[in-house]
Amino acid sequence: MLKEKNDPQRKDQLILIIKTLTKMHNDIVLLQEAYMSCQQDLFHEKWKYRHVARTLKKCAKRLGEPDLVMSEEELDAQIRRKEN
């Protein structure tokens, strides 16, 4: 049985498919926006941490105890040495 071009059931199915695809597209756009917002928040938190760590390192050096505070890089190096 061949489908006719003007079959109303086929037209309804196509409309339903287009609506579903549109909703899925809109959901993906919303998820991308939320993901980008989370990435930006994480970037700012990392920046704040690095700033505080550097400030604490400077204060420790002024107190004459430079090993009192470790930078993120120094801590990573120490962890790697312990693992090996």
- Expressed in angstroms, the distance from the first to the final Cα of the chain is 72
Check whether 6 has a pLDDT greater than 80: no
Check whether 22 has a pLDDT greater than 90: yes
- For residues 37-41, average pLDDT: 97
Question: Amino acid identity of 53?
Answer: A
Give the pLDDT score at 1: 44
Query: Which residue in this structure is represented by tokens 């700012």?
Result: 44
Tokens of residue 81, six digits: 């040495």
Give the pLDDT score at 72: 76
The Cα 49–Cα 16 span in angstroms is: 49
Check whether 14 has a pLDDT greater than 50: yes
8-62 and 72-83 helices cross at what angle (nearest 10)? 90
